[in-house]
Amino acid sequence: MFSDEFSLESDERVEIRDISSEVQGIVDESGTRNGFVLVYTGHVTACLSINEDDPELLEDIRDNLLRLVPIEPEEGVYRHNEKYSSMPQEQNTHAHVISSMIKPFLAIPVEEGNLNLGNWQSLFFIELDGSRRRRVTVQVWGDSGE
């Protein structure tokens, strides 16, 4: 098993960023030819997803996530936000709720040293409570083909 991590800095409160090249770089560094990779973020207000890397689609995903769970509720209050009302950095109930619906990890096959993604698939880090510095852990299991 080979393990590494990388950091990224978000610029927006809610942002979707392609991390495919970072993950592929760690697979390359591991020397693994065939196996699988586990990508994990240990943050409760961020998550990971696989989807198409189309800017308009990513905007649609972002907009619809925030339509499902808006930053500020349309009616009433978020109890978590109320509990921490004196702490502006903790006004992030939307981020906790959305991240609970999307997983903090991805498992992807590795074949011939490459992420075995579909034609249109890319790996995405979804920041829900930025801007922040975040860490992503990548673990690679498999054989070197030797």
Is residue 22, in this structure, part of any structural domain at all?
Answer: no
Is residue 107, in this structure, part of any structural domain at all?
Answer: yes
Is residue 132, in this structure, part of any structural domain at all?
Answer: yes
pLDDT recorded at residue 76: 85
Contacting residues for 8 by C-beta, under 8 A, at least 6 apart? 17, 19, 22, 125, 133, 134, 136
Domain count, the chain: 1
Tokens matching residue 143: 């054989």
Is residue 80, in this structure, part of any structural domain at all?
Answer: yes
Is residue 83, in this structure, part of any structural domain at all?
Answer: yes
Domain with 140, as residue range(s), is 54-146
Phi, psi of 54 (to 5 degrees): -120, 120
Is residue 144, in this structure, part of any structural domain at all?
Answer: yes
Is residue 38, in this structure, part of any structural domain at all?
Answer: no
pLDDT recorded at residue 49: 98
pLDDT by 10s per residue, the chain, length 146 = 999 999 999 999 999 999 999 999 999 999 999 999 999 999 999 999 999 999 999 999 999 999 999 999 888 889 999 898 888 778 999 999 999 999 999 999 999 999 999 999 999 999 999 999 999 999 999 998 76
Is residue 123, in this structure, part of any structural domain at all?
Answer: yes
Indicate the pTM of the whole model: 0.94
The average confidence (pLDDT) of the chain is 96
